[in-house]
Amino acid sequence: MTLFSLSLSFFLLMDSIGNVPIFISVLKEIDPKRQQRIIFRELIIALGIIIAFYFLGAWLLTTLKISQQAVLISGGIILFIIGYKMLFPDDAAGTNWNFGKEPFLVPLALPLVAGPAVLAAVMLYSHQGVAPIICLSAILIAWLLSTVILLMSTTLNRLLGERGISALEKLMGLILIMLAVQMLLDGLAPLLNSTNA
């Protein structure tokens, strides 16, 4: 995969635009200046977790002797499910974040930014033969874009409104589904070719 496609995949999985209303809800009782520091701190923690899973993933998949085709197919399925949920969200899920004190680690860093989908994806990509510098650069690019969006969460929420944010999230879900289908096709291609031979 190219740096662009990897960066886009990670960015979509981090779902920064979809997380804007949740970040606002969690931090609404905190001073605006303090909010910026908390968001940046939580994103730094999330980045550390994601990178740790990248290196752990390569070792884990090698130890378990999981094939390249299995990585591609399972990765495609995971991305498809996440994309589907972005297109057709469950409105009842994740709408009641209530924290009396300043949040730490949960829920902003984990699971909102470094969620299960992102962690699973970095583990899978780490075993696909992509150069580490490309994969780590893609993680950093996606993280930087997410950081900018989430630091501007109050402004974005005011400019786009709930419907605008929902529309952007659905567009991201559609793109993610297309990436997932391509990954599935890449994983199934060797199996189909061996059957036709």
Residue 95: band (very low, low, confident or very high) from pLDDT cuts 50, 70, 90? very low
pLDDT tens-digit readout, 107-158: 889 888 998 778 888 887 877 777 889 999 999 999 999 999 999 988 887 8
**Tens digits of residue pLDDT in 39-65:** 999 999 999 999 998 988 768 777 888
Q: Helices 153-196 and 32-63 sit at what angle, rounded to 10 degrees?
A: 10
Average pLDDT, the chain: 83
Answer yes or no: are the C-beta atoms of 83 and 180 closer than 8 Å.
yes
Domain borders along the chain are: 3-90+101-196
pTM: 0.75
What pLDDT is attached to residue 170? 86
Closest CA to 142 of 29, 16, 1, 2: 16
- Which of the two residues, 16 and 98, has the higher pLDDT score? 16
1 contacts 126 by C-beta, under 8 angstroms: no
